Structure 1
């Protein structure tokens, strides 16, 4: 063993074993304290779970915050498992087993991962949590959960597969939500669309459009013709003047909203076609669901950067 780790509420203290006398004294005090508290000290070659969670986070792109959750009754809370978004029930089945704890990794931009240790074989499982409904309403199966033997393997699979799948599915969900709103508005009878509902649909578009445009401009996407690039430029110029949050603006910003609405209705379909051309292969996007002229879902009050549970 390279060292001894003592953990409490997510914090860890590592005791070096290089000085045998000091290590022996510290372990003796720990043993005596454990007896006094009627606790049990168990030695193991397996790394402390909190260290594993931080090792995975450190190997991911960007800055990630790690929260260690302890479950005294050794049961993952059902309300947490309800947030798991995965293609097959790998993480969600942990609800039927005794699990002492888990970790939630957050990148600060809305992506949250759940890391747990599988009780029957000790392998680590990492899956995504559903985006906050204030941020995006996703449908369908989520990314494939990672199962790995070590923190290094888990981080590698999260980087190479889990996060790209998550980003792709979120991108398709944004496209689908914007398309649904546009179809709804265009299929409605003239004069039947309530102004509040129209503002809600426009605000959803203004919320999602920056992400969609950024994905289209990202390196590695398909090259665009001059006319397609011109469509992107028109919307990028517009978004600089009319950001999301329509219900909270007034005065001169109202003119920007009117301009945004006009451009959205005039060229929104062209924009979505350009985005699909640049970012989506024919097999990636499922058939567009039928849209009925009903009240759109409540618009997001703000784009959430995190979620409270």
Structure 2
């Protein structure tokens, strides 16, 4: 069921986003795992287009917020206003099915932290009142890894809330040629229609939780997570939240492939987008040119893969 649903969704998104099949798959897997996405790449690579195409294809309300140093937490969460003798809550852009937090690292830490409760609990608390967010709820945040002037580095607690970090990269020459031809008259985004709805997304999320995880694969997953905490040059390894995110993301990948059981390749594929942004390397390791992605690749290569008995 999920595979057919995903193929229909992916075909619709790829009318506007050309040549990024694996990246689209990773974003959809994050959605089905109940998490949130950090898109990290240089400007102009299609981050906003991907977010808008996904929202349109899912039939979700889409809101985009440009994060700047003067943005306040209330600009996201909403405010209470006094009207007709009573205080009335006016919800902010967080109350949408898909929120694009553009250039998240340009906002102050106080404003960045306004996302924490929303991302973790699916709710906003103001003046002692709790307001549930729509379901499904997906945050796609972007940041530019090149230009760091005037930015505030995302703290570890914030990074750990993102299930996956995905880099789009530049398209292949032929894909870019296709993009030019499609965009010559008008943007394909204008013609995108929903191919599913919130109810089907929630049903798919429930089915993902039912993907079977063998005990040997549990051991394999936990061995990878434990190795990140012991690896040379790593100051901070993957958290227990990261282990849970890794399993759920891998379950989503299995479901998108039409399987109701996990295989080692699902975990290996999930490891990089789910764990790399959570690893903090020592100053010496970074000075030597090491990267979190390289450390993680060595760990995955070194951990023995379980085989069927």
- Work out which structure has the larger RCO, using CA pairs closer than 8 Å and 6 or more positions apart in sequence: 2
Q: TM-score range by the shorter chain?
A: under 0.3
Larger radius of gyration: 1
Name the TM-score, length of structure 2 as normaliser: 0.22
